[in-house]
Structure 1
Amino acid sequence: MKTLFDPVSVGDYNLKNRIVMAPMTRGRAGSERIPNDLMAEYYFQRASAGLLITEATVVSKQGIGWIDSPGIYNSAMVKGWQKVTRKLEPTGTPIFLQLWHCGRASHSDFHNGDLPVSASAVRLDGDKIHTPLGKKEYETPRALTNGEIKTTIDDFKKAAVNAKEAGFSGVEVHAANGYLINQFLDSKTNLRDDEYGGSLVNKYRFLKEVLEAVLDVWSPKQIGVRISPNGVFNDMGSDDFKETFMYVVEELNKLELGYLHIMDGLAFGFHEKGKPLILSDFRKIYKGIIVGNCGYTKETAEKRVANGSADLAAFGRPYITNPDLPERLKNDWPLNPSEDMSLWYTPGPEGYTDYKPYTHQPA
């Protein structure tokens, strides 16, 4: 029976365990969005994972929607990320860069007064967004023109080129959690009547063309895709979510990618309009590596791996406060709590790199 601590191959990489550090926005890149020494230390501390996935990283200025998140669209950002990959190189742990465009989950304050963009002009109905000028109401985005869609696809391709120059092991295309690619997939946010909207084929087209562009740069086995089939984060969730994502996964299966990263509907925050899709539903049609993710404990993650519905399990919040998470899980050492969000996105090392590995207390 497979466990979290067994090795596994993902593409050309032999992982020392099946524990993945999930992508988590931490807001330490500063206003210029250039990765730095502090970020390099953060990832290095967590290199006992089998695989590291970086925080979401914007592919263009237009993709920005979060304060002080990193980018990958200029040479300074490439050099900044090289600090991370070079520090990790001696550990042998692969690290994939997550490629991100926020789409409508943004605000004009990030764009010199220009509206954020999306598949269609559908406003995000949610809590206020943190902008450089304070908390603001979400705005109705502007629908991308077909020409702008092509430009955005080119932005993903250039970001993939930059990620290779920065020394990453691969890239993960972020198509989940209500960001731009998810906005094209979901009929709630995609009201287009052109070749990018309407049918399943058309709604999938943007993701398909992004992947084709990235595949010009990276081999299939060095590419992952993240999806959230049942997700309602960022005001997502359509009545046809099952039909949509079963189709998406069938199409992704044809590409023989390195992995498919799925937000697990059995964990939390899943779509309430009917029974959620679960990993075993996708396992029936997806033949490659599946990374399960969403609120796992050691026990729930072990269950997914043991029954074969997932090959690896990604952990998010526990990794913030437990840099040595694999060792703690393997030895049943206690975990530091991760409920306090007050320091998640603040600048500096506090609440970021100041968590220590577990040490035994004398009896």
Structure 2
Amino acid sequence: MSDIWTPAKVGNIETKNRLAMAPMTRSRAQADGTPGPLAAKYYAQRAGVGLIISEGAQPSEDGQGYLATPGIYTDAHVQGWRGVTSAVHAAGSRIVIQLMHAGRTSHPDNTPHHRQAVAPSAVAPGAPIFTATGMQPIPEPRALTVEEIEQTVNDFRKAARRAIEAGADGVEIHGASGYLIQQFFAPNANLRTDAYGGGIENRARFAIEVARAVAEEIGAERTGIRLSPGATLGGLDEGAEGPDLYRYLVRELNKLGLAFVHIMHFGNEALLADIRRLWDQALILNRPDRALENVGSDVKSGLADLEAYGQFVLSTPDFVERLKIGAAMNVPDRGSFYGGSPDGAGYIDYPTLSEMAGAK
């Protein structure tokens, strides 16, 4: 039995406790995709957790989905992220950069090249997306060719290397939340009839190829992947075979010896138990609806090695300290989750307990 205050080993990353900051898009990067000037302070403020998983960073121009999200494929990106990783390390925590390709969840107005989005198949999600001119319908994407799939795998590989150059302790491959990798899993988004479509082995192929390429490039001990079994985000429907696809996928990923799998859990407890049984390395669990009084329960039961938290950590930089003494958390301001003013309102101005006491 472990509790959340004991150290953990995640691949070759040693964490001071078993709490992680979940990845959260904040849309505050500069126009060229370099992390914004306040990003280092934002992440360092939250370094009480043992492991920070950064917001998604696109591995290429094609990978961008939303406005003002950071990249990790140019020298400027590396330099910007280096400031973030250095600040987090100085504050006593570890950080992995999430590699996120949005696939069809994109709009030409949001990308630097203004081209049509790419996806497994030419199927639009039937949902809107925010752009500089307001909400617009997401256009139909273009189906990737096999050669372009190979190039996209290579984009992930190169982005992982750039993340390590930027000082990250590792990377998390984003295979969840309705983005490109999960789009390959879902039969309603993946209509392919080649080696990347059809049966569950084919629909899982792209994810496995990306994970293998990244692990070869930077080491399996620095490579993790995030999955969200059953998630319908982005209009996806994984169908009746969904649970079996994840069982197959986790078995295959486990053979690679990755540092961790990060599960965004939506309620299939039997599948979660199977994933735990099939996975030999660290398992990070994010239950989006977990109540504060249940923090630590999955680590204590052995179901998870770390627990990840999003809005609690976003709104409460001293989340760990408050958790230890049972203090109330700050109330998150949903209106400032994305974008924001240059002064960092809703980003770096959430107060700690000590700051609140000093203001009295």
Q: TM-score range by the shorter chain?
A: over 0.9
Secondary structure of the 1:211 match is helix
Q: What one-letter code is carried by the residue in structure 2 that aligns with 1:354?
A: D
TM-score normalised by L of structure 1: 0.93
> d(CA) in 2 for partners of 1:333 and 1:214?
40
> d(CA) in 1 for partners of 2:302 and 2:352?
30
Secondary structure of the 1:247 match is helix
| 1:358 counterpart residue number | 353
| 1:162 counterpart residue number | 162
> d(CA) in 2 for partners of 1:75 and 1:191?
37
Contact 2:53–2:98 under 8 Å retained in 1? yes
> d(CA) in 2 for partners of 1:75 and 1:59?
13
Q: Trace 1:38-117 onto structure 2 (pairs within 5 A).
A: 38-111=38-111, 112-117=113-118
> d(CA) in 2 for partners of 1:79 and 1:301?
35
Structure 1 regions of 5+ residues with no counterpart? 267-274
Q: What one-letter code is carried by the residue in structure 2 that aligns with 1:256?
A: G
Q: What one-letter code is carried by the residue in structure 2 that aligns with 1:116?
A: A
Q: Which has the higher helix share?
A: 2
| 1:130 counterpart residue number | 130
| 1:342 counterpart residue number | 335
> d(CA) in 1 for partners of 2:270 and 2:230?
7
> d(CA) in 2 for partners of 1:332 and 1:285?
35
Secondary structure of the 2:40 match is helix
Shift in Å at residue 117 of structure 1?
Answer: 0.9
Contact 1:160–1:218 under 8 Å retained in 2? yes
Q: Trace 1:223-262 onto structure 2 (pairs within 5 A).
A: 223-239=223-239, 240-262=241-263
| 1:264 counterpart residue number | 265
Structure 2 residue 308 is the aligned partner of structure 1 residue 318: no
Contact 2:11–2:281 under 8 Å retained in 1? no
Deviations 1:71-101 (A, max 9, x none): 0111111111111112222233110000011
| 1:29 counterpart residue number | 29
Q: Trace 1:201-216 onto structure 2 (pairs within 5 A).
A: 201-216=201-216
| 2:19 counterpart residue number | 19
Structure 2 residue 190 is the aligned partner of structure 1 residue 190: yes
Shift in Å at residue 105 of structure 1?
Answer: 0.3
Deviations 1:235-293 (A, max 9, x none): 11222211111111111111111110001123xxxxxxxx5655323112112111000
- Structure 2 vs 1, CA of residues 300 and 257 (structure 1 numbering), >3 Å: closer, same or farther? same
Q: What one-letter code is carried by the residue in structure 2 that aligns with 1:184?
A: F
| 1:297 counterpart residue number | 291
> d(CA) in 1 for partners of 2:322 and 2:213?
40
Q: What one-letter code is carried by the residue in structure 2 that aligns with 1:19?
A: L
- Structure 2 vs 1, CA of residues 122 and 285 (structure 1 numbering), >3 Å: closer, same or farther? same
Shift in Å at residue 133 of structure 1?
Answer: 3.2
Secondary structure of the 2:96 match is strand
- Structure 2 vs 1, CA of residues 276 and 18 (structure 1 numbering), >3 Å: closer, same or farther? closer
Contact 1:230–1:277 under 8 Å retained in 2? no
Deviations 1:217-245 (A, max 9, x none): 21111111000002111111222211111
Structure 2 regions of 5+ residues with no counterpart? none
Q: Alignment length, in residue pairs?
A: 353
Secondary structure of the 1:189 match is coil
Secondary structure of the 2:150 match is helix
Q: What one-letter code is carried by the residue in structure 1 that aligns with 2:348?
A: T
> d(CA) in 2 for partners of 1:294 and 1:116?
30
Contact 1:57–1:100 under 8 Å retained in 2? yes
Structure 2 residue 286 is the aligned partner of structure 1 residue 285: no
Q: 1:308 is matched with which residue: 273, 294, 302?
A: 302
Contact 1:265–1:278 under 8 Å retained in 2? no
> d(CA) in 2 for partners of 1:185 and 1:356?
41
Q: Mean alpha-carbon deviation: is it higher for 67-76 or for 196-205?
A: 196-205
> d(CA) in 1 for partners of 2:124 and 2:35?
31
Deviations 1:57-76 (A, max 9, x none): 00111111111010011111
Contact 1:97–1:171 under 8 Å retained in 2? yes
Of all paired residues, the percent bearing the same amino acid is 39
Q: What one-letter code is carried by the residue in structure 2 that aligns with 1:109?
A: D
> d(CA) in 2 for partners of 1:238 and 1:163?
31
Contact 1:229–1:277 under 8 Å retained in 2? no
> d(CA) in 2 for partners of 1:255 and 1:182?
19
Deviations 1:310-333 (A, max 9, x none): 111000011111011111111111
Secondary structure of the 2:173 match is strand
